[in-house]
Chain A
């Protein structure tokens, strides 16, 4: 699970926000505005981290990745009528 908070006070920040969204979308499903989730391999996480670090401003932004150990099943309860954003039946 990846969550970010980008400082968008200046134009450069807005640019970073769009960039990081596009990058995250390649690897994970967009769940909410700045929240992403998905089941990816360790190798893919490394690539994702590398790409993200190439975009963000380490001093101004905040990015956090939560990961679960292999074999642990994540339980998700969507309380609202929102369709499952990770659904693979389109």
Chain B
């Protein structure tokens, strides 16, 4: 089963004897190329086109993150899975406001359900009730903007509980740059989630730029934003709670300035390790009646989305049952 590799040490990644080798600090680690699924790079890396060509041949994606842990881009091999038919269907569902709304609603419903599940366990009855009211409002919405604002309300109610859950200062969600440690964790976690969803999208014939809830703007893979909405509460948020409540991540894992906060390299390493372990965990799927990895849940949802687009079966988002 091929895995994701995470590079934190600056060095040189190269093709060597038809496999990959990472040279750092005078040391060489040979990586079995057949074991590599994706490479995440959080440090400075030297590479050449010979390597990129090799990665393309082996269908390996290389994701790059900058000094602050922001996602800067990916090297993605030429797409092998193309389907003009599906693309046409994808666009059709975007152009028809009715069809688009149906999909956008399912993304929000899924996100809110999974958010509620995180609160349910902690017995925050009043916030759960608020979320239920919002959920009821979803079916009445007629415009995407309304839906977006409903989702924002739900998220606000959810984030209001974060200080209680984690015991850390939060105040409100801030981005570009994140204002405090908790915000930095959310931002970094979400970036990881987007790339994870994006890499699964590339395994299917879906086009990552056409989305339904988020406006498909330029320069963004907005479909992965849509799908990530469903999975963020399940993966990212739970990891954050776990890291903080178990004392695995501490104040000294952040670079805190006047109005910005970033994870340090050590902090990022801890987060990514937890993220990877979560993704590799297995769970008994109720419909498939077999154990599947957490990361496969994303792919299964994309398949459901494809079925919906092709008109075979209507899409219902992944709802956590555990």
Task: List CB contacts (< 8 Å) of B44-88 with chain A.
Answer: none
Docked Cα-Cα span, A22 to B29, in Å, equals 13
Task: List CB contacts (< 8 Å) of B5-53 with chain A.
Answer: 5-9, 17-19, 22, 24, 29-35
Docked Cα-Cα span, A35 to B31, in Å, equals 15
Q: Is B119 an interface residue (CB 8 A)?
A: no
**Quick one: CB contact mask for B289-305 with A, threshold 8 Å, 1 for yes?**
00100000000000000
Task: Kindly list chain B residues whose C-beta atoms are within 8 Å of the C-beta of A88.
Answer: 3-6, 276
Kindly identify which residue among B17, B18, B33, B269 contacts A89, using a CB–CB cutoff of 8 Å. B269
**Quick one: CB contact mask for A12-54 with B, threshold 8 Å, 1 for yes?**
0000000000100111111000000011110010000000000
Task: List CB contacts (< 8 Å) of B241-289 with chain A.
Answer: 269, 272-273, 276
Please tell me if the beta carbons of A30 and B30 are within 8 angstroms of each other in the complex: yes
Q: Is A90 an interface residue (CB 8 A)?
A: yes
Docked Cα-Cα span, A5 to B211, in Å, equals 55
B3 nearest CB neighbor, chain A only: A88
A48 nearest CB neighbor, chain B only: B34
Task: Kindly list chain B residues whose C-beta atoms are within 8 Å of the C-beta of A28.
Answer: 32, 35
B34 nearest CB neighbor, chain A only: A27
Nearest Cβ in chain A — how far from B301, in angstroms? 23
Kindly identify which residue among B22, B31, B35, B276 contacts A40, using a CB–CB cutoff of 8 Å. B35
Nearest Cβ in chain A — how far from B36, in angstroms? 9
Please tell me if the beta carbons of B32 and A27 are within 8 angstroms of each other in the complex: yes
Task: Kindly list chain A residues whose C-beta atoms are within 8 Å of the C-beta of B4.
Answer: 88
Task: List CB contacts (< 8 Å) of B126-164 with chain A.
Answer: none
Nearest Cβ in chain A — how far from B265, in angstroms? 12
Please tell me if the beta carbons of A40 and B34 are within 8 angstroms of each other in the complex: yes
A41-B1, A44-B34 as given contacts; A26 in contact with B273, CB under 8 Å: no
Please tell me if the beta carbons of B33 and A26 are within 8 angstroms of each other in the complex: yes
B4 nearest CB neighbor, chain A only: A88
Please tell me if the beta carbons of A90 and B29 are within 8 angstroms of each other in the complex: yes
Please tell me if the beta carbons of B19 and A26 are within 8 angstroms of each other in the complex: yes
Please tell me if the beta carbons of A22 and B272 are within 8 angstroms of each other in the complex: no
Kindly identify which residue among A30, A38, A39, A90 contacts B22, using a CB–CB cutoff of 8 Å. A90
A47 nearest CB neighbor, chain B only: B34
B41 nearest CB neighbor, chain A only: A90
Please tell me if the beta carbons of A89 and B6 are within 8 angstroms of each other in the complex: yes
B273 nearest CB neighbor, chain A only: A89
A30 nearest CB neighbor, chain B only: B30
Docked Cα-Cα span, A41 to B35, in Å, equals 10
Please tell me if the beta carbons of B30 and A25 are within 8 angstroms of each other in the complex: yes
Kindly identify which residue among B5, B17, B33, B276 contacts A90, using a CB–CB cutoff of 8 Å. B5
Task: Kindly list chain B residues whose C-beta atoms are within 8 Å of the C-beta of A38.
Answer: 32, 35
**Quick one: CB contact mask for B74-116 with A, threshold 8 Å, 1 for yes?**
0000000000000000000000000000000000000000000
Nearest Cβ in chain B — how far from A88, in angstroms? 5
Please tell me if the beta carbons of B32 and A90 are within 8 angstroms of each other in the complex: no
Residue among A25, A28, A39 with most chain B CB within 10 A: A25
User: Could you list 5 A-B pairs, sorted by A, with CB under 8 Å?
Assistant: A25-B32, A26-B33, A38-B35, A88-B4, A90-B6
**Residues of A in contact with B (beta carbons under 8 Å apart):** 22, 25-30, 38-41, 44, 71, 88-90
Known: A25-B30, A29-B35. 4 other contacts (CB 8 A): A41-B1, A44-B34, A88-B4, A90-B22
